[in-house]
Structure 1
């Protein structure tokens, strides 16, 4: 049985894909979204400006901007 894979792709302010920080791979969309909600500040502090949710390697939703208010 093949399990779905959900993960976050992170881009910097210029739209370049970041190789670090690396996000976990999840088997449920809910878990991926919950994780981002708990860790977005750390990701933003590490240089991520946008997070895109990938489902089995394809973008599943519009990107989420990571910035402090």
Structure 2
């Protein structure tokens, strides 16, 4: 299994891989820990929402900011 993050801007459009890290992980826990350490930098680069993928299957999505009023 391979775990990766897919990034979307505030407008919902995909964020290009060249603009953000393209990390792969061997476990869900490693992927989530990495996001916990790097979410603020991703948000500064324009990422508004992330989706966790297990191979090609989307597990969940979540916003990187609390501005979901």
Q: Please, what TM-score do these two structures have when normalized by structure 1?
A: 0.86
Dislocated runs of 4+, deviation >2 Å:
none
Structure 1 segment 10-21 matched on structure 2, within 5 A: 10-19=7-16, 20-21=19-20
Tell me which residue corresponds to 1:50: 49
Q: Which runs of 5+ in 2 are unaligned?
A: none
Q: Which runs of 5+ in 1 are unaligned?
A: none
Question: Greater share of helix residues, 1 or 2?
Answer: 2
Tell me which residue corresponds to 2:63: 65
Question: Greater share of strand residues, 1 or 2?
Answer: 2
